Amino acid sequence: MMKNREYQQIDPQALATPTPTPPPRPLPEHDLKPKRARRKWEVFPGKNRFYCDGRIIVARQSGVLPLTLGLILLTSGLFFVFDCPFLVKHLTSCIPAIGGVLFVFVVISLFQTSFTDPGILPRATPEEAADIEKQIDNPTGSSSSYRPPPRTKEVIINQQVVKLKYCFTCKIFRPPRTSHCSLCDNCVERFDHHCPWVGNCVGKRNYRFFYTFVVSLSFLTAFIFGCVTTHLALRSQGGNGLVFALQASPASALELVVCFFSVWSILGLSGFHTYLVAANLTTNEDIKGSWSGKSGNEDVGNPYSYNSMIKNCCSVLCGPMPPSLIDRRGFVPSDDSVQTSPVEVKLPAAKNDINMCTHGTKGLLETASRSPLLTSSCPQAKPQAAPAVLEPLPEVTPSPALEPAKTTAGRQSTSTPHKHHSHHRSKGKQASHHTHKTSNSSPRPHHSHSSRRKDSKNRDPKFSSLR
Amino acid sequence: MAETHSLQDLRQAAVASKVFVQRDYASGTICKFQTKFPAELESRIDKQQFEETMQTLNNLYAEAEKLGGRSYLEGCLACLTAYTIFLCMETHYEKVLKKIAKYIQEQNEKIFAPLGLLLTDPIERGLRVVEITIFEDRSIGSR
């Protein structure tokens, strides 16, 4: 107490005396630091990678996208180089033209599926998350007759009861048809599945690209298969035999093998997705049997369907293109004016109340708080040291909406990498097994794709092997 | 976000609290916000005014997502060009979003800022909520 009084007595003189170095020091440092405004993709909390300054977004693991692209380029290349000249001479020059158009469609739609934001929902800001937490704890928020488990909300859509689940990672109640992809660590709207062949999730925004890709690829594969068969048939005419034809054009043999194995699964997949489009369903809903009455409910039907195949197709494929909600190329609001003014206010107050030692450490803490935010460039380099520094600071710097979000993202994503890797490995193997299986048996080869959900207990016994 | 002088005054004022108006999913997955008047705003703004603003916003979003001749034409044209026109052309949805941003700015300048409130464009919150920031009750000169 006596010490404080002493300092209070000294204060007016201390303010008058020019000890200019402590107060202006944080400000010139702040001005001298290169004020590079950061774009939002650089601080994105999900497991995605960005290229071309945020224009291109891909999942963290590219999956087998290089393989998909390689197979398409190789087979098409061999077709144009080895089969087309013969067919143009003996049949018509329309063949490379049609093949060319199909090839262009396939490659463009593949790139668009892989590099487009599938409909990622940005995570809740801290204030939003706090507001939702308040509503959950409030017992009047939960509904009606039987007590649902906590963290679910019920809505009635088109006379159907739909349960909305709370996402612990994104801290929001997921909108209907939204699911959390554990591979990409994002909630994706109208989540269909995570496709390893294109290395991205398939959701609301890129489903039409995916559908175009699958359909055009099935046409291309069937077209190449047909043309190569015709080529070999023409060559083996005149008593030469198939072996001679194969020897004369060995590339055709390779194309034949690739196309034969792909055409069944891809044709089946496009048939399956045509069914989904006509019924306005997602792969996720179909596998879980949300609307088909498998889970025991009798009076269920798809509440999102327009009950007209044509209208369903039109709305899914030709509907308005929703915008990307994550605003990758927008700039992170730096809130400089808000940050500097409290510093200015605080320092004289600090000098009044506290002795010079604690003021010194507080100044150190403030400058340290700014440096992790400005210097850490890679959002996926989880700054383990930073949370310890940032923790006590929210009361010092008022509105750093990003810092708590980053620390929580950093903490949570550390727990998932090993799980993510094992899923990816098993899925890679599983995908190759499934394509072989589907070529033999089922008319619905949707098993070659897996739908990833973070907190679902997968009731479907067919997928127990995926775990 | 472009700021006018009156909005900039608000930035210097202290934030008392934030109110979040959630999405209304009763009509499906279309973008629609609840029009229920939040209790925290009772002392600040007229209920009628607020509901009118929310209703206009909902109508604008409905216009953006409407399945009609125009969106089908856009969709079919895009499909025929392998969706490459999305790289050059601004979609109908984006045009309506610009309209919405302008509307929200107008509402903020005319109605909300003088009352010490600020409406945040839902697109900045991923179309999840309409965030209304309540500032401390000071006399803020409005222009």
Closest CB to A314 among B26, B67, B125: B67
Tens of pLDDT, residue by residue over A60-109, are: 777 789 999 999 999 999 999 988 888 888 888 889 999 999 999 999 99
Question: CA-to-CA distance for A227 and A80, rounded, in angstroms?
Answer: 11
Tens of pLDDT, residue by residue over A74-87, are: 999 999 998 888 88
- A40 Cβ under 8 Å from any chain B Cβ: no
Contact B25 A175 (CB under 8 A): yes
CB B92 within 8 A of CB B64: yes
Residue of A nearest to B61 (CA): A322
H runs (alpha helix) in chain B: 5-12, 47-64, 69-80, 85-88, 92-107
Joined together, the tokens standing for residue B133 give 């920031």
Tens of pLDDT, residue by residue over A299-309, are: 667 888 888 88
| Best mutation target, B60, B86, B128, to test chain A (most A CBs within 10 A) | B128
Angle (nearest 5°) at CA A222 between A217 and A228: 125
Which chain B residues touch A190 with a CB distance below 8 Å?
29
CB B11 within 8 A of CB B2: no
Question: CA-to-CA distance for A73 and A94, rounded, in angstroms?
Answer: 20
Question: CA-to-CA distance for B87 and B84, rounded, in angstroms?
Answer: 6
Residue with tokens 């016994």: A461
CB A39 within 8 A of CB A331: yes
For residue A136, the tally of other CB atoms under 10 A from its CB is 15
**CA distance from start to end of chain A:** 65
Q: How close, in Å, is residue A261 to chain B by CA atoms?
A: 26
pLDDT given for residue B139 in this prediction: 53
- B98 Cβ under 8 Å from any chain A Cβ: no
Q: How close, in Å, is residue B129 to chain A by CA atoms?
A: 8
Residue of A nearest to B65 (CA): A320
DSSP assignment of A110-178, as one string? HHHHHHS---EEPPPPHHHHHHHHHHHHSGGGS-SSS-PPTTEEEEEETTEEEEEEEETTTTEEPPTT-
Tens of pLDDT, residue by residue over A386-407, are: 444 444 444 444 444 444 444 4
Contact A124 B78 (CB under 8 A): no
Average pLDDT of every residue of chain A: 70
Question: CA-to-CA distance for A443 and A429, rounded, in angstroms?
Answer: 21
pLDDT given for residue A53 in this prediction: 79
- B97 Cβ under 8 Å from any chain A Cβ: yes
The amino acid present at A13, given as its one-letter code, is Q
Least confident of A1-10, A185-194, B58-67, B86-95: A1-10
- ipTM of this predicted complex? 0.86
Kindly tell me if the per-residue pLDDT of A11 is higher than 60. no
Q: How close, in Å, is residue A70 to chain B by CA atoms?
A: 21
Residue with tokens 């909390």: A45
Q: What percent of chain A is helix, strand and coil (3-state, nearest 5)?
A: 55, 10, 35
The amino acid present at A226, given as its one-letter code, is G
Residue A144 pLDDT grade (very low, low, confident, very high; cuts 50, 70, 90): low
Question: CA-to-CA distance for A266 and A214, rounded, in angstroms?
Answer: 7
Tens of pLDDT, residue by residue over A312-336, are: 888 888 888 888 888 777 777 765 4
Query: A109 — phi, psi (to 5°)?
Result: -70, -30
- Residues of A noted as catalytic: 195
- The pTM score is 0.70
Q: How close, in Å, is residue B44 to chain A by CA atoms?
A: 20
Q: How close, in Å, is residue B109 to chain A by CA atoms?
A: 21
Q: Which residues contact A194 (CB under 8 A, 6 or more apart)?
A: A59, A181, A183, A184, A200, A201, A202, A449, A450, A451, A452
Joined together, the tokens standing for residue A145 give 């007759």
- B82 Cβ under 8 Å from any chain A Cβ: yes
What is the percentage of chain B residues whose pLDDT exceeds 90?
30
- A150 Cβ under 8 Å from any chain B Cβ: no
Which chain B residues touch A131 with a CB distance below 8 Å?
18, 20
- Mean pLDDT over residues A332-356, rounded? 46
- B87 Cβ under 8 Å from any chain A Cβ: no
Kindly tell me if the per-residue pLDDT of A8 is higher than 70. no
Closest CB to B28 among A208, A304, A314: A304
- A325 Cβ under 8 Å from any chain B Cβ: yes
Contact B83 A304 (CB under 8 A): no
Closest CB to B82 among A109, A122, A303: A109
For residue A400, the tally of other CB atoms under 10 A from its CB is 20
Residue of A nearest to B64 (CA): A320
pLDDT given for residue A137 in this prediction: 67
Question: CA-to-CA distance for A252 and A231, rounded, in angstroms?
Answer: 8
- B86 Cβ under 8 Å from any chain A Cβ: yes
- A219 Cβ under 8 Å from any chain B Cβ: no
Question: CA-to-CA distance for B21 and B75, rounded, in angstroms?
Answer: 32
Question: CA-to-CA distance for A50 and A52, rounded, in angstroms?
Answer: 7
**CA distance from start to end of chain B:** 18
Q: What is the 3-state secondary structure (H, E, C) of A191-251?
A: CCEEECCCCEEECCCCHHHHHHHHHHHHHHHHHHHHHHHHHHHHHCCCCCCHHHHHHHCHH
Which chain A residues touch B95 with a CB distance below 8 Å?
none
Can you name the residues that pair with A162 across neighbouring β-strands? A155
Closest CB to B93 among A112, A322, A338: A322
Which chain B residues touch A104 with a CB distance below 8 Å?
82
Contact B83 A128 (CB under 8 A): no
Closest CB to A112 among B23, B25, B83: B83
Specify the 3-state DSSP secondary structure of B27: coil
Kindly tell me if the per-residue pLDDT of A361 is higher than 70. no
pLDDT given for residue A77 in this prediction: 92
- B9 Cβ under 8 Å from any chain A Cβ: no
pLDDT given for residue B77 in this prediction: 87
Average pLDDT of every residue of chain B: 84
Closest CB to B25 among A155, A325, A326: A155
Contact B11 A320 (CB under 8 A): no
Question: CA-to-CA distance for B134 and B114, rounded, in angstroms?
Answer: 11
Q: Which residue has the higher pLDDT, A61 or A195?
A: A195
Nearest CA among A181, A116, A78 for reference residue A328: A116
Closest CB to B91 among A104, A317, A320: A320
Contact A124 B83 (CB under 8 A): no
